[in-house]
């Protein structure tokens, strides 16, 4: 079983200007992520606009990413869905395509945690690849307390990883890390805003869509090499840009697509409607910050 660690960016799904899936830009994106030093890729997540894809498009994106990556790093495929039956199908397709793991969030607005537990159990038992438990209360409407997350990780054999998106992530990392008795990988998110502190708390890496993954890679590599001061200084130097990009309501995927398009990693910054446009003032501020931090 492939071990997941380090920086596994939540990848974009690129579109052409007329809104079609741009498979050629998937190829250039893969090289951009790997050129930045990414230790893996996480596809079909929220930042990948997975909920806006038709099933046929979803399958093409899945297989193009896995095929282009060609085993150089592990690929984690998002398989979250409103119903367990759908998530099961997505997970089986991901495994068949060659994904190293699948990432699964609870069904939206399912407040009964016994049902949530059964959802994860059924999906995990249907595939042989590990499941990354995605704790994402803002988008799912489901709050999973630390003791419940520990129960998922301890009682369901296939649930081997945890991705945290609940603010604040730090106390939850500590609570889960102290309580689990089996090997579990924990990843942060939230745009990278707390990466350094998450690593201090025992996180194994991060899965997020920040537009400059090389910054996250540099922080992580310095940290695991034992250079904590260097990791902190490097991270803090770029934190203004991370903080700005992570603002809710500023643009989300649209602002990140602007960054990747500016670098030539994708041919168009098009995001599928409904997606808030990025105004000229925001883009000017973004360009100013990119220059200020030396990127």
Kindly give the confidence (pLDDT) of every residue in the chain, 295 residues in length, as a single tens digit, with 9 standing for 90 and above.
569 999 999 999 999 999 999 999 999 999 999 999 999 999 999 999 999 999 999 999 999 999 999 999 999 999 999 999 999 999 999 999 999 999 999 999 999 999 999 999 999 999 999 999 999 998 999 999 999 999 999 999 999 999 998 878 899 999 999 999 999 999 999 999 999 999 999 999 999 999 999 999 999 999 999 999 999 999 999 999 999 988 755 557 999 999 999 989 999 999 999 888 888 998 999 999 999 999 9
Residue 205 lies in a domain: yes
Q: Provide the 8-state DSSP code for 102.
A: E
pLDDT at 290: 94
Contact of 119 with 84, CB cutoff 8 Å: yes
**Based on the structure, what is the number of domains in the chain?**
1
Residue 132, strand partner residues: 103, 161
Contact of 39 with 5, CB cutoff 8 Å: yes
State the Cα torsion 80-133-140-11 to the nearest 10°.
-60
Residue 187, Cβ density class (10 Å: 0-12 exposed, 13-18 middle, ≥19 buried): buried
Q: 266 Cβ partners below 8 Å, 6+ apart?
A: 12, 14, 22, 25, 28, 29, 257, 260
Q: What angle do CA 215, 219, 220 make, to 5 degrees?
A: 115
Residue 163 lies in a domain: yes
Task: Determine the structural domain holding residue 87 and report its residue range.
Answer: 6-213
Residue 246 lies in a domain: no
pLDDT at 166: 80
Grouping H, G, I as helix, E, B as strand and the rest as coil, residue 42 is: strand
Residue 46 lies in a domain: yes
pLDDT at 62: 98
Return the CATH number at 196: 3.20.20.70
Grouping H, G, I as helix, E, B as strand and the rest as coil, residue 185 is: strand
The DSSP annotation for 47-87 comes to TTTGGGS-HHHHHHHHHHHHHHHTTSS-EEEE---SSHHHH
Residue 259 lies in a domain: no
Residue 83 lies in a domain: yes
Q: Is the pTM value of this prediction over 0.75?
A: yes
pLDDT at 245: 87
């Amino acid at each position: 079983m492939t071990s997941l660690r380090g920086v596994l960016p939540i990848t974009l799904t690129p579109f052409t200007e007329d809104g079609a899936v741009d498979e050629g830009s998937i190829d250039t994106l893969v090289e951009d992520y790997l050129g930045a030093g990414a230790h893996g890729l996480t596809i079909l997540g929220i930042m990948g606009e997975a909920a806006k894809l038709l099933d046929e498009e979803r399958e093409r994106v899945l297989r193009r990413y896995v095929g282009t990556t060609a085993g150089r790093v592990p690929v984690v495929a998002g398989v979250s869905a409103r119903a367990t039956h759908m998530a099961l199908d997505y997970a089986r397709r991901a495994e068949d395509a060659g994904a190293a793991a699948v990432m699964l969030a609870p069904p939206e607005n399912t407040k009964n945690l016994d049902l949530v537990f059964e959802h994860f159990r059924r999906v995990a038992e249907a595939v042989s690849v590990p499941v990354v438990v995605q704790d994402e209360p803002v988008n799912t409407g489901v709050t999973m307390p630390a003791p419940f997350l520990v129960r998922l990780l301890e009682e369901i054999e296939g649930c081997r990883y945890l991705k945290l998106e609940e603010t604040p992530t730090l106390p939850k990392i500590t609570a889960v890390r102290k309580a689990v008795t089996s090997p579990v990988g924990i990843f942060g998110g939230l745009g990278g805003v707390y990466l350094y502190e998450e690593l201090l708390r025992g996180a194994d890496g991060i899965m997020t869509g920040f537009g400059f993954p090389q910054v996250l890679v540099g922080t992580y590599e310095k940290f695991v090499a034992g250079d904590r001061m260097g990791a902190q200084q490097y991270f803090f130097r770029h934190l203004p840009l991370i903080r700005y990009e992570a603002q809710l309501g500023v643009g989300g995927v649209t602002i990140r697509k602007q960054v990747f398009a500016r670098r030539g990693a994708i041919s168009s910054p098009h995001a599928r409607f409904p997606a808030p446009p990025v105004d000229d003032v925001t883009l000017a501020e973004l360009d100013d910050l990119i220059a200020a931090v030396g990127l």
